[in-house]
Amino acid sequence: MTEEQKIDKLTPEQEEEMPKYVEKWTKIGLCCDPLNFEASKEASCRAYKEAELEPPKYFFQFQSPISAAVGGYLIKLFFQSLSKVEASVNSNVLETTSLPRKEKTGRIESPPSTNEFKRIKTLMTSGLGEKISRSVEPKTIDKVVDEVRIQIFNEVIAPLGNGSRLDTETANVFRKTWAMVVDDLTNKDNRETQNEVWEQVRAQVWGSHDAAGLSFYDFFLNVVGLECCRRLEPLMDIAKNCGWWAPYEGYVIFQDRHQELHRDERNRIHNMEGPAIMYPDGFSVYAVHGVRVNRDLIEKPETNTVEAIRTEENAEIRRIRIEIYGFENYLRDDEFEKQAQDDFGTLWRKKMPGDEPDLVMCEVINSTPEPDGTNKHYVLPCRSDVRTPHEAVSQSFGLTPERYNPEKES
């Protein structure tokens, strides 16, 4: 199909293909396979070519969005500092080094570390502040700094010399470069550091998580025959092989996909026993029915006290706290006012702060005795406009009180 032809509607045969593409790209978006680094590199070079840009020289990889943001920030500072150091010594190390640039033959796992990197770890951990520290532990930041050191060495430094041996000028330039990075970090206040790291997050492309958008172009290219969509094939191939990624002038940063992804029956991210999303470096997202929550709420349920529930400012998270605490437990431990009682149970109501709807629960006693002769109590969360236990129980079955009137409850 030519670009001049207008598509008025899909044919029945084309419509029949749509579920296949929904299934295909849903699997891509939910995929938990490791990063395919080589395939991602090849596809990114094609993407640069389609955009009429010079292909990237360097390729870096990290294990999560937050690691890629922190690592990307340090890599950015490195290249900025490198250009300043080179200017001060009238040298372009990457282009005029006395040793020929070699092809990279392998990864050096532990190039020399210096005091600069220890300082960088300390500065980054303190500079990122509480907001990020709630999501990533200091040891993860330390690991990212080590990864930057190793990857810069393997991608940029090692190919300039004979193995790990560099000429004196090159070694001095790179030593001064990292020292300048330390100075740069030292002179920034925490807010500036945090803003620049989050800017790296905003610079990332969603990769496999861009499945919804890319599925549209894949369908129109391969089913409808719309050739103008072919330019996006490199982005489709990247999405099939990695998580988020970030293209920059001269280099690209890739990251792993999540290694765990948990959802509820409505496909919302959800896990009451651990992270809803977890990446290989340990960075995790905790969520209940699609609402992101603090890690301690899941990992340390003993901290979820009545007082913590009362003082929770976010109404949505407060209700999640109550669900985790247990409706029956919360009704027992907090202060509720009895509103109504009938043959179906007892209705309890608690006033909530501000304009938030009242919290209403219905206590129901099972009329069928347990083996030990006792009758089990149940607590049903209700809508705030419920006025009687009969109405509350009816709604739990999706019925009106007129339609729900059993002779005997069980």
d(CA 279, CA 331) in angstroms, rounded, equals 37
Q: Are 97 and 172 in contact (CB under 8 A)?
A: no
In a domain, 323, yes or no: no
Question: Do 147 and 32 belong to one domain?
Answer: yes
Give the per-residue pLDDT at 386: 94
- How many helices (H) and strands (E) would you count in the chain? 15, 12
- Residue 313 included in any domain: no
Give the residue from 274, 300, 326 where a domain finishes. 300
Q: What is the pLDDT of residue 330?
A: 95
| DSSP secondary structure letter of residue 157 | I
Compute the CA torsion angle 188, 193, 199, 200 (nearest 10 deg). 110
Q: 173 and 109, same structural domain?
A: yes
Q: Which helix (H) or strand (E) holds 130?
A: helix 115-133
Predicted pLDDT at 408: 45
Shared domain for 8 and 109, answered yes or no, is: yes
**Considering the domain boundaries, does residue 327 fall inside one?**
no
Same domain flag for 171 and 274: no
Q: Which residue, 176, 148, 245, 157, is CA-closest to 204? A: 245
Start-to-end CA span in the chain (Å) = 64
For 243, phi then psi, to 5°, come to: -85, -130
Residue 315: inside a domain: no
**Same domain for 397 and 288?**
no
Question: Which residues in 274-297 are b (16+ Cβ under 10 Å) and which e?
Answer: ebbbbbbbebbbbbbbebebeeeb
Tell whether 212 and 360 lie within a shared domain.
Answer: no
Domain that holds residue 111: 1-257
For the chain (410 residues), the mean pLDDT of every run of 10, in chain order, is 72 96 97 98 97 95 92 91 76 57 51 68 73 66 86 80 59 80 83 83 92 96 95 97 96 96 96 96 94 94 95 91 94 94 93 88 84 83 93 91 70
How far is Cα 44 from Cα 51, in angstroms, rounded to an integer?
Answer: 11
One domain for residues 244 and 279: no
Q: Which tokens in the block code for residue 237?
A: 């191939």
CA distance 244 to 337: 50
Q: Are residues 288 and 351 in the same domain?
A: no
Same domain, 164 and 226: yes
Paired tokens of 340: 């109504």
Domains held by the chain: number: 3
Verify that 75 and 136 share a domain, yes or no: yes
| pLDDT tens profile 31-51 | 999 999 999 999 999 999 999
Bridge partner residues of 246 (DSSP) = 253
How far apart, in whole angstroms, are the C-alpha atoms of residue 227 and residue 207?
22
Query: Are residues 267 and 351 both part of a single domain?
Result: no
Token pair of 263, please? 């959802």
Q: Examine residue 144 and state whether it is found in any structural domain, yes or no.
A: yes
Domain boundary among 203, 227, 257: 257
* Cα–Cα distance for residue pair 20/96, rounded to 1 Å: 53
Same domain for 86 and 156, yes or no, is: yes
Within a 13 Å sphere around the CA of 235, how many CA atoms are in the beta-carbon half? 21
Looking at 242, 257, 272, the residue that finishes a domain is: 257
Cβ neighbours for 354, distance < 8 A, ≥ 6 positions apart: none
Contact partners, residue 26, CB within 8 Å, separation at least 6: 211
CA–CA distance, 264 with 256 (Å, rounded to integer): 23
**Rounded to whole angstroms, how far apart are CA atoms 304 and 325?**
7
CA within 13 Å, CB half, 240: 14
Tell me if 385 is assigned to some domain. Answer: yes
> Cβ distance 385 to 358 under 8 Å?
no
Among the listed residues 253, 304, 293, 283, the one whose alpha carbon sits nearest the alpha carbon of residue 132: 283
pLDDT of residue 410: 46
One-letter amino acid at 22 equals V
225 within some domain? yes
- Domain-located, residue 351: yes
pLDDT of residue 93: 64
Q: Is 223 left (phi over 0), alpha (psi -120 to 50) or beta?
A: alpha
